[in-house]
Amino acid sequence: QVQLVESGGGLVQPGGSLRLSCVASGFDADQVAIGWFRQAPGKEREFVAAIYWIGGATYYGDSVRGRFTISRDSAKNVVYLRMNSLQPEDTAVYYCAARPTLRAGVLSNDYEYDYWGQGTQVTVSA
C-alpha cells in the first residue's frame, strides 16, 4: 500500500527554520518524483518544491526559491524540505505527494500527483 507520511511541522518565529520529512513506502521510490505543496486557509494549493528520485534534479516555486531546499535520503526513503528565513506568509499545511517519473507534464501541477500524505501544519508567528 502506497503511503506518504509527513512530519516536522510546528510553530516557529519569523526568520526561523524548520525541516519537514516525508517518509515514502509501498512503492519503488526510484520510479517517482516527490513534490511538496502547501495550502493556507482560503487559498489554493501552491507548489513548493519537487525532486526526481533518480538523479536528484530539484525544482522550486518562485515564492520559496533561495530559502527552501528539497533533498532525499535514498537509504531511508525520505524526502526532506529544509525551510529557512520563514515568514508569516509561509504559514500553511504542507503536503508531500508522489507522481510517476515518466508522466508528461510539469512537476508544479498538483493534479499530476497520484498519492498524498496527510499534511503537517507549519505556523510562522511571533
Residue 41 grid coordinates:
486557509
| All residues at 6 or more sequence positions from 52 whose CB lies less than 8 Å from its CB, including other chains | 33, 58, 101
Per-residue burial over 92-112, b = 16 or more CB atoms within 10 Å of its CB, e = otherwise: bbbbbbbbeeeeeeebbebeb
Asked if residue 1 has pLDDT above 80, the reply is no
pLDDT of residue 121: 98
3-state SS class at 74: coil
On the question of pLDDT at 23 being above 90, the answer is yes
What confidence tier does 27 reach under pLDDT thresholds 50, 70, 90? confident
